[in-house]
Amino acid sequence: MRAVVMHEPGNVNVEEMPMPTILEPTDAIIKLAATCICGSDLWPYRGLEPVHEKRMGHEYVGTVVEVGEAVTTVKPGDFVVGSFCISCGECAICRAGYPSRCTTAAAQGDVFVGTRAGGTQAEYARIALADGTLVKTPAPPTPEQLPSLLAASDVLGTGWFAADEAGAAPGKTIVVVGDGAVGLGAIIGAKQLGASRIIAMSRHADRQALARQFGATDIVEERGEEGIARIKELTDGLGADGVVEAVGNEAPFDQALGCVRPGGHLSFVGVPHGVSLDMDRMFFAEVHMFGGPAAVRKYLPAMIDLIFGGEINPGAVFDLVLPLERAAEGYAAWMSVAQRRSC
Taking a C-beta distance cutoff of 8 angstroms, is the pair 86, 58 a contact?
A: no
| 203/277 Cα distance (integer angstroms) | 26
Task: Classify 158 in phi/psi space as left (phi over 0), alpha (psi -120 to 50) or beta.
Answer: alpha
3-state secondary structure at position 174 = strand
The third-level CATH classification (topology) of the domain covering 159-291 is Rossmann fold (3.40.50)
Q: Are 199 and 231 in contact (CB under 8 A)?
A: yes
Domain positions in the chain: 2-154+295-341, 159-291
Query: What is the strand order of the sheet 218-220 is part of?
Result: 218-220, 197-201, 173-177, 240-245, 260-268, 288-291
> In CATH, which superfamily holds the domain spanning 2-154+295-341?
Medium-chain alcohol dehydrogenases, catalytic domain (3.90.180.10)
147 contacts 320 by C-beta, under 8 angstroms: no
In order along its 343 residues, the chain shows pLDDT tens digits of: 999 999 999 999 999 999 999 999 999 999 999 999 998 999 999 998 899 999 999 999 999 999 999 999 999 999 999 999 999 999 999 999 999 999 999 999 999 999 898 999 999 999 999 999 999 999 999 999 999 999 999 999 999 999 999 999 999 999 999 999 999 999 999 999 999 999 999 999 999 999 999 999 999 999 999 999 999 999 999 999 999 999 988 999 999 999 999 999 999 998 887 788 888 888 889 999 999 999 999 999 999 999 999 999 999 999 999 999 999 999 999 888 777 665 4
- pLDDT at position 278 is 85
What is the pLDDT, as a whole number, of residue 340?
A: 67
Largest distance between two CA atoms of the chain: 59
In contact, 295 and 133? CB cutoff 8 Å: no
Can you count the helices (H) and strands (E) in the chain?
13, 14
- For residue 6, what are the contacts with CB-CB under 8 A and spacing of at least 6? 12, 44, 45, 51, 53, 54, 56
For residue 343, the model assigns a pLDDT of 47
